[in-house]
Amino acid sequence: MELSIPNIYAHKNLKLLIAVPLILMVLGIYFSSGIILDSTLSGGVSLTLQANTTMTPAQIASAMSSRYGIAGTSVQVSQGQVLITVPENKSLSEAEGYLLQIYQYHSNYTQDVVNATAYGFALSKSPSNKTIQGLYSQAAIGENDSLIQIRKYLALEIQSLHPFVGNAAGNMTSADSMLASAQGLYSNASNAYKSTLLADVASIVPFKSYSYQEITVLQSSYFLSQLQTIIIVAFVMISIVVFIIFRSPVPSFAVVFGAANDIIVALGAMAILKIPLGIASIGGLLMLLGYSIDTDVLTAIRILKRHEGTPEERAYGSMKTGMTMTLTAIVSFAVLFAISYVEYVPTYYEIAGVVLFGLIGDLATTWLGNASIILWYVNRKNRGN
């Protein structure tokens, strides 16, 4: 059953229609700056507990947030298992960054030591060689600079780890001793954090056994870069396929614009509703991307390739059918979003939220933006003929 709606294209005021999705795009870009990352992309700890509890996931998350200051925790409960995902500890995250810097400067120091030794041996044979003298001096300066940087980042790491290791002091006698100190302090701090976290969790949800998995900042950065690559590759492939279908830049632009705008609107809604960007929500964005491309391509084909009636009538007919399909999908995802919110199922909540608000934005993007751009293109082309 198709919707009974007026033909918005009859008055041919296309510029006014296109303005609506453009405004949504600007709002989406503005709000998306406040989007948050979940533990898979920002680092954190996943705890799987074997426990029988009468507490709901929301109650467990609230208790950890209010009693222990562990905000942003997600919880899932299923058949004697409790899965708790805790965001990365800020102190450990900072310390890991400093440790990575120490690794880098230690590598530089080692290379400079090797170079200085080689150049020193060469100088013993050719003491007056200016080139070798310069290279030796450069290597010696590099050694000293690297030692200064290692010492600096070790001090910063110790400062960051103070909540876990107290007034610990690193061995500053050599580059190797400083690296060993940095590694040992970080390991001790990680173990201390693990013990504290398990004790806090046990006081809320007593458990029989557990598994503990930490996602470091380095791992999460890798995941984020890979997901960004996936999105970019998806858009590039879509752009190529769409251009092959239409062999014209304007319809191709309209389709890609529609997909991009839906993603931007969804990201803005995620920031407003505090839906984190993670593996689940990325899956929702890819689902939304596929849905958007489907409706946009079908709309463009119906307007451009068919010949019954006027282009406005074909766009109107496509809109009635497409809006019926989209509204049906919106209702379905709205139900899933509400249920997952009440039952506190983070994965379904994130996927449903992304797709739901992306589809709401798709109503404006497809039928006010995408269709209007294609109609403008068709009318201009007909006038040219």
At 248, which amino acid appears? Answer: S
C-alpha span between 157 and 153 (Å, rounded): 6
Q: Which CATH architecture fits 14-39+218-384?
A: Up-down Bundle (1.20)
Q: What is the dihedral of CA 40, 223, 190, 52, to 10 degrees?
A: 30
pLDDT at 210: 87
Other C-beta atoms lying within 10 Å of the C-beta of residue 256: 20
Q: What pLDDT, in 10s, does the model give residues 35-56? A: 877 766 767 788 888 888 888 8
Q: What are phi and psi of 309, to 5 degrees?
A: 65, -170
Q: Which of 92-101, 102-111, 306-315 has the lowest mean pLDDT?
A: 306-315
Instruction: Tell me the two tokens of residue 78.
Output: 């299923």
Number of Cβ atoms within 10 Å of the Cβ of 52: 13
**What sign results for the dihedral spanned by CA atoms 96, 99, 104, 107?**
negative
Stretch among 129-133, 169-173, 176-180, 193-197 having the lowest mean pLDDT: 169-173
Structure tokens at 149: 């940087």
- Tell me what pLDDT residue 330 has: 94
Rg of the chain (C-alpha set) = 29
Q: Where in the chain is the domain with CATH 1.20.1640.10?
A: 14-39+218-384
State pTM to two decimals: 0.67
* Strand ranges in 196-272 using DSSP code E only, listed in sequence order: 209-215
